[in-house]
Every structure is written in C-alpha cells, then in structure tokens.
Amino acid sequence: MHRTIFSTPIVNALLRALSVVYLKLAGWQVQGTLPAQAQKCVLIAAPHTSNWDLPYTLMVAFVLRLNIYWIGKASLFRFPFGPVMRWLGGIAVDRSKTNNLVQASAQAIQAAEGALQLIVPPEGTRSKTRYWKTGFYHIATAAQVPIVMAYMDYQRKISGLGPIFVPTGDVEADMVQIKAFYAPFKGKNAGQFETP
C-alpha cells in the first residue's frame, strides 16, 4: 500500500495531538481500542451521510492510532486533489467500470506488512439508500480478516470501534446482526441512514 499521513512519523504525531485537542474541545468522545487480533481488518464505516465523515474519521483514526485506508469514488481523486486524497489514505474506485475490487482489496490487505485497516462504508454513498452493499463482508472473507464495527454518532458526539464481527458465511443472517448493531447510531444527516 502507498504511504499515507498515518505512516509519516512527525506529521502523524502532530496531527494526532491536534485531533485529540480538537475532538475534546468539540465535545466528542472516542471509544474503544483495536484488538490485537484485528491489526489487519476491515472497518465498517457507518452511518455515512455527510462529507464531514471523512475529516472526523481521520481525526478518530489518529486518536486510536490506526493505520487506515479508505475507498472513495474516483471523482474525489481528480486533479488537483488526487495526491492529497491518496496521502490521506484514499483508494480511488471507478463505479462505472466492472472490476474485481473485492479480490484486489483482499490481496492488498494480505500483502501489507504490519497493521492495516481498510474502511468500507456499507451504504456505498452519502445519499439515502435502503440497501447496504456487502463488499466489506466479501473483502474480509477473502482476506481472512475480521470485521470491526466502527461508528460515528453525531447526535451523542461519540465515535470509535465496536466489537469484532467474524463472518459466518451466511451473508443474509450476518447482515441482520450487523445492521442491528448500527440501528441506534445517528449520522450527521440522520434521515439518510436506514437499518431496516
């Protein structure tokens, strides 16, 4: 994987300190820790309802000392923002093309030296959607890594890492359990997040 803001030593330490101070002053509480057995994992990013999710996610990742990468639509990576987005941990996805994103992501996780957490929003968009995509589930299964249920609740100003979820292979049953975990959380635009 490419070098990011999280693997740049001096910048990482400075931004971690700034993130701790900003979140505390803004009234946010960061919860949880990354379990030792989940140093390589897929993080569910939900609810995802606003562009503000990215800066808050980056700050929470600094506070929790994570080494995150995230998947974003290709338009975010157009000139002149591409290099900055990649340095922030972004990986461009062209939704108009059929590609094997699951297999490529799984191979990248397996090949990475050291810790790596790949963030995947199940909604696949900030817009209101009733159905969740299961890419995060299939990436974790193919890479043989756990899923960590990360959350951000703007109403209560809490964010962090929830429990580990180990896929059973029964996607439908597993998605019911995962959605049940996320039901209490409110995104910035709460009306756009559903867990039917």
Of the pLDDT bands very low, low, confident and very high (cuts 50, 70, 90), residue 126 is very low
Is 91 within the bounds of a domain? yes
Q: Are 69 and 119 in contact (CB under 8 A)?
A: yes
Of the pLDDT bands very low, low, confident and very high (cuts 50, 70, 90), residue 193 is low
Q: What is the pLDDT of residue 96?
A: 63
In the chain, the number of structural domains is 1
Q: Look at residue 114 and give its three-state secondary structure.
A: coil
| 33-37, 75-79, 92-96, 106-110: range with lowest mean pLDDT | 92-96
Is 76 within the bounds of a domain? yes
Is 164 within the bounds of a domain? yes
CA distance 45 to 28: 17
Is 196 within the bounds of a domain? no
Residues 9-14: contacts with CB under 8 Å, at least 24 apart: 12/62
Q: Domain limits at 100? A: 5-191
More confident residue, 78 or 14: 14
Of the pLDDT bands very low, low, confident and very high (cuts 50, 70, 90), residue 130 is low
Q: What is the pLDDT of residues 19-66, one digit of tens each?
A: 999 999 999 999 999 999 999 999 998 888 888 998 999 999 999 999
Is 24 within the bounds of a domain? yes
Q: Are 3 and 87 in contact (CB under 8 A)?
A: yes
CA distance 82 to 96: 18
